[in-house]
Amino acid sequence: MSELTHFDEKGQAIMVDVGPKQITERLAVAHGKVYMKPETLELILRGEAKKGDVLGVSRIAGIMAAKKTPELIPLAHPLPLNSVTIEFSPDRGNSTINVEARVKVTAKTGVEMEALTAVSVTCLTIYDMLKAVDRAMVISDIKLMEKSGGRSGHFVRS
Amino acid sequence: MSELTHFDEKGQAIMVDVGPKQITERLAVAHGKVYMKPETLELILRGEAKKGDVLGVSRIAGIMAAKKTPELIPLAHPLPLNSVTIEFSPDRGNSTINVEARVKVTAKTGVEMEALTAVSVTCLTIYDMLKAVDRAMVISDIKLMEKSGGRSGHFVRS
Amino acid sequence: MSELTHFDEKGQAIMVDVGPKQITERLAVAHGKVYMKPETLELILRGEAKKGDVLGVSRIAGIMAAKKTPELIPLAHPLPLNSVTIEFSPDRGNSTINVEARVKVTAKTGVEMEALTAVSVTCLTIYDMLKAVDRAMVISDIKLMEKSGGRSGHFVRS
Amino acid sequence: MSELTHFDEKGQAIMVDVGPKQITERLAVAHGKVYMKPETLELILRGEAKKGDVLGVSRIAGIMAAKKTPELIPLAHPLPLNSVTIEFSPDRGNSTINVEARVKVTAKTGVEMEALTAVSVTCLTIYDMLKAVDRAMVISDIKLMEKSGGRSGHFVRS
Amino acid sequence: MSELTHFDEKGQAIMVDVGPKQITERLAVAHGKVYMKPETLELILRGEAKKGDVLGVSRIAGIMAAKKTPELIPLAHPLPLNSVTIEFSPDRGNSTINVEARVKVTAKTGVEMEALTAVSVTCLTIYDMLKAVDRAMVISDIKLMEKSGGRSGHFVRS
Amino acid sequence: MSELTHFDEKGQAIMVDVGPKQITERLAVAHGKVYMKPETLELILRGEAKKGDVLGVSRIAGIMAAKKTPELIPLAHPLPLNSVTIEFSPDRGNSTINVEARVKVTAKTGVEMEALTAVSVTCLTIYDMLKAVDRAMVISDIKLMEKSGGRSGHFVRS
């Protein structure tokens, strides 16, 4: 089971030693989406234009969650993040809001968990703010899209 | 936009007043799943039997995340949770791990966000522990399955 | 020094025992304000109308800070808050933004620290978001305006 | 293994359901001690009288840690604590500082972990503040002394 | 609205990218004050000499709050602080306690929010510990006094 | 009292300035142990082999606590930890579980408090998970074993 870096040779969970790794500029991009009823999506899009800013609140929640990643993911390293951004794009055809998080750091290890956590909490907050009108929303397709700056090279999802 | 309880009549975000609501026993159940390569799933299932306990660590992360919900979801109420449980069921046909969180409380408001947050962080931790061997895993189908104890009656996902 | 409830008879800091107190509905209202240059105030007010929502972000920060009060104020009790709301009113004459926080709880002790903390962090966030254009802003007049529901009766600032 | 309440019948960790339990007044008292060189103890005792208040800072750390217990102990329940107090008694004969924490709550479950956590973090903070002069200090004898208010009756350490 | 660094060109909140900035030694100094009744001030000053150490507890709260800044201020960067100090000076003429926080870091961005947050929470804790005898205290004049080490040069409040 | 680095010349608590210190690779190792009844120890050891994984849960709690050290210890510096590992060794002769934490960092200050905090919270979690069967367990002998990388040289406990 030596392939799993979060376990030692005895199978015990460890926070892996990143001491010997290089400090480099690192980027991670993650996506996710929230499926909802078409009228719920309209409610968001109207709100963005006027007031009742579901996406504005959810963006703040996602940015703050990126900073909380080492408190949530047991074996994640605490990192001094350089930047976090959250972008939304509505998709009326599929009746979803698509969420993209981009996180950067100058450090010895990468920020894919920060990007994935930011996307997840952004989606959860969208759910929270709209659940009174659409309890059946589904959060899906949370995945890493891109990752660069580490030893493993530039990952781009195909 | 009066249907959205998290905004006042001016469209401003609020933590809604649950003071007038009844203290009742409340339950929420949420599901989610992680898609992975078949060999990654085998790695988990072998680990559970022997060592390198991916699911054990992820369960703890999910339980602790339920307690962190009011820190993550901006307008969620802090609640004295009665219980949190996380169950896993592997699905070799779809090459997924299915995650179920059940959360109970005796309070004036429900715990669906706690259940959904627990599921999300459990899935994120599974991803973290396996990402060295399968960066392309996808977290999906995070959704509320059941909710009881509130004014809105017993919700069961159909 | 027996008048100070947060110290025992030896002068040692304690989290005072609220066990014998009654569970009642309690409310606290606090105010604060941020002095700024007139052009900074215009920047906020334009932003509210269009985009770049300084007040929306600051409101979320204030609501989340109310929930963090027992982590910040050493001898404060953890409480299951019923509601938190933050209101802004611009004052072009004095070139300030006025902030009001209202917090409610059903508990054995009051929420004045929650209301004051919410106001403080709201003002700090306004500062953070505008400091690039107006480093000399001043946060002032943070004070309790009203408090009800406790043994000490209904306090209204005169 | 059914005796261990924090595991279900399959041996999986759970936050046990306290929903059916009674809300009662509960108390827990825990002790601990820090062994140090006699001159380190004198340094503390002089400080308390004059300045450099090692015990004052450590008491605050212990009280705040009691409130953090559910964040630290994975399966502990979040509880609205009624009171926390920390007492010190120096023992020149054994060259130790003895620490006692008392925690009270009105809730469905007890606060022994809060009392033990408060004692532990108080001792760790004493260590931190004195480590520049006495790196070899030892924290010992952290134990529950008394517990009352629960179904299991009144426990007093013999 | 391009002047506001915490918003992108679409007016969306972002944690701004500090990646391209230089790592330098940075300092920020902030002030604040608490207005109180003269007899409340005497209570503090007596306590400092003897027991009931209001200022000692508040100083600890302020130092710990500096470390919590990125959890409180949504778009603040997490930073490995080098030092935090809090100084008090009583002003009997104006019946106030003046508070000064100094924060240092070696990083890509400054610590003015850490200094302002430390001052704010120090003042809030003073309020908390004295509110039983003087509910009408006012926290005022929280402002940046000095800032150095960044691209924008050495700011000293005039 | 100038020897105590956490106080200034007036005896006031400070987070000491590590700005002038060198960034080096630092290691700290701490030990602790939990005394219990022989049958409790057997319960743990059986669980490790089969299910009901007391040590696995406690290890995760300890690793996460290392990351929380600056939130718990008032004057500790926030640090970007490189690694945390927790090892257990049962001692049937003394009926104890021995705990060892190893923490590494590349920073201007050391991680002995992180190692000691990790050990303490690991022991507290063992207690929590077994208290239903053995309330009288005692946590003892928490101490620094080794420390390297700082100005004060290589400390090894004799």
Q: What is the pLDDT of residues B19-67, one digit of tens each?
A: 999 999 999 999 999 999 999 999 888 765 444 689 999 999 999 999 9
pLDDT band at A74 (very low <50, low <70, confident <90, very high): very high
d(CA A15, CA B127): 15
How many cross-chain Cβ pairs, A to B, lie less than 8 Å apart? 173
pLDDT tens digits, C47-81: 654 446 899 999 999 999 999 999 999 999 999 99
Q: What is the mean pLDDT of residues D59-64?
A: 97
Question: Shortest CA distance to A46 belongs to which of A101, A87, A90, A99?
Answer: A90
* Domain boundaries C24-148, corresponding CATH code: 3.30.70.640
Q: What is the mean pLDDT of residues B135-146?
A: 97
Residue A2 is predicted with a pLDDT of: 45
| Portion of chain F with pLDDT greater than 90, in percent | 80
F60 contacts in chain B (CB < 8 Å): 57, 60-61
pLDDT tens digits, E73-118: 999 999 999 999 999 999 999 999 999 999 999 999 999 999 999 9
Point out the least confidently predicted range of B122-131, C39-48, C110-119.
C39-48
pLDDT tens digits, B9-22: 888 899 999 999 99
Residue found by looking up tokens 């239903």 in the block? F132
Contact C83, B15 (CB under 8 A): yes
Contact A30, A115 (CB under 8 A): yes
Residue F48 is predicted with a pLDDT of: 57
Greater confidence (A49 vs F74) lies with F74
**What is the value of pTM for the model shown?**
0.96
D8 to chain F: closest CA residue: F52
Contact B79, B39 (CB under 8 A): no
Per DSSP, E131 falls in state T
Greater confidence (A48 vs A133) lies with A133
Residue D47 is predicted with a pLDDT of: 66
Contact criterion met (CB < 8 Å) for A19 and F56: no
Mean pLDDT of chain B: 92
Mean pLDDT of chain E: 92
Q: Is B52 exposed, middle or buried (0-12, 13-18, 19+ CB in 10 A)?
A: buried
Neighbours of chain C (3+ CB pairs under 8 A): A, B, D, E
CA E8 to chain centre: 27
DSSP-assigned beta bridge partners for residue F118: none
Residue C9 is predicted with a pLDDT of: 80
Q: Which CATH architecture has domain B24-147?
A: 2-Layer Sandwich (3.30)
Q: Is D141 a catalytic residue?
A: no
CA-to-CA separations, D38 to D45, D97, E112, F66, in angstroms, rounded: 11, 11, 42, 30
Contact C157, C143 (CB under 8 A): yes
Domains of chain F: which residue ranges? 24-147
pLDDT band at A7 (very low <50, low <70, confident <90, very high): confident
pLDDT greater than 70 at residue B146: yes
Residue D35 is predicted with a pLDDT of: 98
Greater confidence (A44 vs A125) lies with A125
Residue F1 is predicted with a pLDDT of: 41
* Domain boundaries A38-148, corresponding CATH code: 3.30.70.640
B101 to chain D: closest CA residue: D14
CA F46 to chain centre: 25
Q: What is the mean pLDDT of residues C6-34?
A: 93
Nearest-by-Cβ selection for C75 from D25, D63, D78: D63
pLDDT tens digits, E20-45: 999 999 999 999 999 999 999 998 88
E54 to chain D: closest CA residue: D56
Residue B9 is predicted with a pLDDT of: 81
Mean pLDDT of chain A: 92
- Name which of B27, B77, B85 to mutate to probe chain D: the one with the most chain D Cβ atoms within 10 A of its Cβ: B85
pLDDT tens digits, D3-15: 778 888 888 899 9
pLDDT greater than 80 at residue E53: yes
Contact A21, A151 (CB under 8 A): yes
Residue C43 is predicted with a pLDDT of: 87
- Name which of E12, E15, E69, E113 to mutate to probe chain A: the one with the most chain A Cβ atoms within 10 A of its Cβ: E15
Looking at the complex, report in whole angstroms how far the Cα of residue C80 sits from the nearest Cα belonging to chain D: 8
Phi/psi of residue C81, nearest 5 degrees: -60, 140
Contact C157, C144 (CB under 8 A): yes
CA-to-CA separations, C109 to A123, C113, C145, C149, E75, in angstroms, rounded: 35, 11, 17, 9, 32
Question: Shortest CA distance to E124 belongs to which of C32, D60, B26, B40?
Answer: C32
pLDDT greater than 80 at residue A50: no
Q: What is the mean pLDDT of residues A74-90?
A: 97
Residues of F labelled catalytic: 128
F80 contacts in chain A (CB < 8 Å): 77-80, 107
Q: What is the mean pLDDT of residues E36-56?
A: 80
Residue E47 is predicted with a pLDDT of: 66
Contact A151, A122 (CB under 8 A): no
CA F78 to chain centre: 16
Alpha helices in F21-111 (DSSP H): 38-49, 54-72
Q: Is C43 exposed, middle or buried (0-12, 13-18, 19+ CB in 10 A)?
A: buried
